[in-house]
Amino acid sequence: MKKLLFLVGIFLITPVFASVELVQIVTFSWDGSKLESLSLGSGTAIDSNLILTNKHVVTKDDGTSAEFILICPAKTKSNRAVDCNVPAMVLALHPKFDAALIRILDNNVYLPKVSLGTHLRSKNEWIRVQGFPVPVEGLQNFGGKKTLENVQNWTKNGGVLTTAGDKLTITRGQIKQLAQRKDTGEIYYLTDVKVNHGNSGGAAFDRNGAFIGIPTMRDLNFNAFILAYPQLREWVSENANTPAIVDQEILDFYKTKVKTTKTLSKVTTSTKSKNTSRAWQRTVVPVKKTRIRTFSRQPSTTRSTSSRTSIRNYLRKYYRSRE
């Protein structure tokens, strides 16, 4: 175990080039007069204005969507903090799987998109995970809490929301096996890659840089369970062009209460791409061709990797496991 922690530390000490397709996600509820912070998580741009994440990152306890989202695009290097200044909205929730789509609301903001993997991966393949977890004691340079503290302070004291946030965290490891949940049919990669609350919705990449899945759960040793992407492609294709609708009253509140450190146009990258990638139109690789074990999610051994509990109370329960 000590050797594993040491190796993770080596990977994270030196700032490296980050995947700018990654974003940090901050969700809010709306009570008719003000925004209330809900959760933090991660997401991945799969098109210029379309983000893939976990459903549990963007939903409330009753299963309904968050009313408002702030997106914090990753910088080109992992030691540079994000700016949470891009408004967004939930576009679609998967009916069975833990997946959701988010649409950016600002037409002047274009995100670079990932290269999407087309097939299920195999046992022992090396992968890397990127996202915005909260820190874990014993893991060096792992995670941050700046965004959490800013949102917590704003929720408590009002005024304007400071947009400077956390740095991207990168961890590496291997796929140990493939497994399928009995209740939902979701296919997961069970790995030894370290993750924590906040990693949910982020990205797992293969050695060639292709996006292969979404970090969704972890075990008690902080090892990631990654929701395989190929099973989501048809659903993404069907929902990619759905319009996002947000209450104008919420947008007006956001514009008066959020202090941006940069203008929105300055986070624009590249040029606007086509709405739908051809890769999304391909047929999902049949499960029967891959050796996959089944499992049931056990509350005593797995944890969601989002921070969906109230942000105001989260720091007080910092290292406590949560369902």
Which residues, at least 6 apart from 256, have a Cβ–Cβ distance to it below 8 Å?
Answer: none
Which pLDDT score, from 0 to 100, does residue 91 have? 94
Which pLDDT score, from 0 to 100, does residue 18 have? 58
- H or E segment to which residue 68 belongs: strand 68-73
Question: How far, in whole angstroms, is CA 99 from its chain's centroid?
Answer: 10
Q: Which two tokens stand for residue 48?
A: 């210029």
Q: What is the mean pLDDT of each run of 10 residues along the chain (323 residues)?
A: 35 50 92 86 94 96 92 76 84 96 90 90 94 82 82 74 79 95 94 93 94 94 95 95 85 72 35 27 32 49 51 37 35
Regarding pTM above 0.85, the answer is: no
- Residue ranges of the domains in the chain? 2-317
Asked if 22 contacts 203 with a C-beta cutoff of 8 angstroms, the reply is yes
Which pLDDT score, from 0 to 100, does residue 13 have? 32
Which residues, at least 6 apart from 12, have a Cβ–Cβ distance to it below 8 Å?
Answer: 139, 140, 141, 142, 169, 170, 171
Q: State the fold for domain 2-317.
A: Thrombin, subunit H (2.40.10)
Question: How far, in whole angstroms, is CA 96 from its chain's centroid?
Answer: 18
Which residues, at least 6 apart from 140, have a Cβ–Cβ distance to it below 8 Å?
Answer: 5, 8, 9, 12, 13
Q: Which class for 37: exposed (0-12), middle (13-18), buried (19 or more C-beta within 10 A)?
A: buried
Which pLDDT score, from 0 to 100, does residue 150 have? 83
Which pLDDT score, from 0 to 100, does residue 37 have? 84
For residues 73 and 165, give the distance between their C-alpha atoms in angstroms, rounded to a whole number: 10
Asked if 134 contacts 145 with a C-beta cutoff of 8 angstroms, the reply is yes
